Amino acid sequence: MGKRTLVTTAWPYANGPLHLGHLAGSCLPADIFARYNRMIGNETLMISGTDEHGTPVSMLAELEDRSPKEIVDEYHEIIKRSLQEVGCSYDIFTRTTTKNHRETAQEFFLRLLKHDFIYEKIMEMAYCPKCKKFLPDRYMEGECPRCGAEGARGDQCDECGRTLDIMELINPYCKHCGTKPEMRKSKHYFLRLTAFQDRLMSWIETNKDLWRPNVYNFTINWLKEGLEDRPITRDLEWGVPVPVKGKEDKVIYVWFEAVIGYISATKQYFAEEGKSEAWRVWWEDPDTETYYFIGKDNIPFHTIIWPAMLLGHGRLNIPTNVLGNEFLNLEGGKFSTSKNRAVWLNEYLKHFDPDPLRYYLSINMPESKDANFTWDEFQRRNNEELVSKLGNFAHRVISFIEKFHDGEIPKPEILDEKDLAMLKEIEISVDITGDSIQNCEFKKAIARVMKLASFGNQYFNEKEPWKDKATSKTTLYVSACIVRSLSILMAPFLPFSAQRLWIMLGYEHSVHEQRWDSAKVHVKSQPIRDVKPLFRIIQGEEIAEQRAKLDR
């Protein structure tokens, strides 16, 4: 009875470790959504992988005098492991350099070619006679025609910020060998985007109320300006070869090829499960819903180009929703992999637990506007909210039971008005939190979880079980019901702590296997165990140490 739900995240680029921006804008919201979908009984598949082709990887390889393969092998492992450690529950996290992906991408290319949605056209491009290769814009430098700065790149001058056409550079030279490039003709393949203009437009309009305004508006404006066909091949060595006889020296351009990873990853997952045809239902059955969690920089690729490719292919589902997030900033500035200005996830995990970060990024998620990560705020959110509000409530209830009720959750006696109101409040929180996640309003959802913890603290204070021995059993019973519910509601956001809390309450198995609505079920009278605080306080020195790294 559950819906089939495919959840995808942006494919992290394998030229560096994963930083907090990727997590906040794509992996984490997708993970919360996927975990929730599993809990409401939807058949859920969460997929992604590293994007490993493209110019930045080959540039980094040259810089470090290593092969592109070595680079991507290293970062794929680092990224995959840190995602796993931070609790992102991918069913598969693959990469774009697999044989399966290459073949899938090539098949896709050929199919569009056959349908005449891909055609050839001659382009003029810069060529270095000494290196004997065509130069991507970034491989060429020269003098900026506007500000005169040396070392302006072919696509942009870093000095004055002006975007450049490669032809405009004064005294251009090959970044690699310094030779002056010449212009040469090269035949490339173009994606006939213009053929999809009308179909995309009417499709987008049907999504007006469902999609986030930023995604909808951005897309509709792009379409209104009119689509242009785009070249999708390059004269490079690092990439998926064009599968046409005599054209093997060209590669399919990354943005065209990487999105096909969504399909190749699905195929790979089911192939490994021994069900090689099972992927089809996830792409061909119109009842399957597909959700894409991406950063705003990726919006046009997922709302225009990828849908156009899917339409051109035929028979494949176009996105149900594209959740474009804004950016996470770092201490007021931008995250940047190439400038090494970032908080790296793998570094973070050496010092702190995953859940405080997941909490911070959930409650500060850049859903509708840019958000900010600061270490001070991270410490405050952890110490004052996770530890003091949520963790404290759970701990005060459980340790009270341990000390004053022989370590066993008491049976209720007479439920008074406050007790009943509190129990009712649990049900309301379960519904509101669930609906919010369903609508991809994750900030609102986690805020409601915290609010339930506040209600719990309030209730506990008012009932004063330490004084009022007569009603103490009932109070602790109701409180334990809240804690039990919290443990389930926390699960998509704080999977590790949720599980620990679940075990403390005396349950077996996994909280992640519980149905969402079972958060309304009352607690059973059973022994608690392993009582200890759920979260730890983060000291000022730890924060100072991390912040110092950024100043270097």
Partner RNA sequence: GCCGGGGUGGCCUAGUUGGUUAAGGCGUCAGACUCAUAACCUGAAGAUCGCGAGUUCAACUCUCGCUCCCGGCACCA
458-497 residues in contact with RNA (CB under 7 A) are 458, 460-462, 464, 466-467
Q: Which of 13, 90, 211, 306 touches RNA by CB under 7 A? A: 13
Q: Are 417 and 459 in contact (CB under 8 A)?
A: no
Packing angle, helices 495-504 and 392-404, rounded to 10: 10
Q: Which of 163, 171, 202, 206 touches RNA by CB under 7 A? A: 163
242-281 residues in contact with RNA (CB under 7 A) are 253-255, 258
Decide if residue 54 touches RNA (CB under 7 A): yes
Q: Which of 17, 49, 56, 506 touches RNA by CB under 7 A? A: 56
DSSP H/E element including 133: strand 133-134
Packing angle, helices 469-490 and 417-438, rounded to 10: 0
Q: Give min distance, CB of 365 to RNA, in A.
A: 9
Q: Give min distance, CB of 116 to RNA, in A.
A: 20
Decide if residue 158 touches RNA (CB under 7 A): no
Residue type, 435: D
At residue 26, φ and ψ (nearest 5 deg) are -140, -65
Q: Give min distance, CB of 53 to RNA, in A.
A: 8
- Distance of alpha carbon 499 from alpha carbon 511, whole angstroms: 6
Q: Which is nearer to RNA, 472 or 546 (CB)?
A: 472
Q: Give min distance, CB of 194 to RNA, in A.
A: 12
Spell out, one character per residue from 135 to 154, where the chain touches RNA: x when CB under 7 A holds, - when not: -xxx---------------x
How much of the chain is helix, strand and coil, in % rounded to 5?
A: 50, 15, 35
206-235 residues in contact with RNA (CB under 7 A) are 213-214, 217-218, 221, 225, 228, 230-231, 234
- Distance of alpha carbon 117 from alpha carbon 181, whole angstroms: 32
Decide if residue 67 touches RNA (CB under 7 A): no
Task: Please provide the size of the chain in residues.
Answer: 552
Cα angle at 323 between 319 and 327, to 5 degrees?
A: 145
List, as one string, the DSSP characters of 317-366. PPPSEEEEE-PEEETTEE-BTTTTBS-BHHHHHHHS-HHHHHHHHHHT--
Q: Which is nearer to RNA, 39 or 309 (CB)?
A: 309
Q: Which is nearer to RNA, 454 or 518 (CB)?
A: 454
Spell out, one character per residue from 358 to 377, where the chain touches RNA: x when CB under 7 A holds, - when not: ----------xxxxx-----
Q: What is the dihedral of CA 204, 8, 106, 310, to 10 degrees?
A: -20
138 is written with which tokens? 């970034």
DSSP state of 240: E
Q: Which is nearer to RNA, 248 or 376 (CB)?
A: 376
Spell out, one character per residue from 165 to 204, where the chain touches RNA: x when CB under 7 A holds, - when not: ----------------------------------------
- Distance of alpha carbon 249 from alpha carbon 235, whole angstroms: 7
- Distance of alpha carbon 127 from alpha carbon 142, whole angstroms: 15
Q: Which is nearer to RNA, 317 or 458 (CB)?
A: 458
Decide if residue 350 touches RNA (CB under 7 A): no
Q: Which of 98, 186, 392, 438 touches RNA by CB under 7 A? A: 392
Q: Which is nearer to RNA, 163 or 206 (CB)?
A: 163
Decide if residue 391 touches RNA (CB under 7 A): yes
Please give the size of the binding site for RNA, defined by CB under 7 A.
64
Whole-number Cα distances in Å, 180 to 58, 158, 234, 474: 21, 21, 20, 84
Query: Which residues form the interface with RNA (CB under 7 A)?
Result: 11, 13, 51, 54-56, 136-138, 154-156, 163, 213-214, 217-218, 221, 225, 228, 230-231, 234, 253-255, 258, 297-298, 301, 334, 368-372, 380, 384-385, 387-389, 391-392, 395-396, 399-400, 403, 443, 454, 457-458, 460-462, 464, 466-467, 533-537
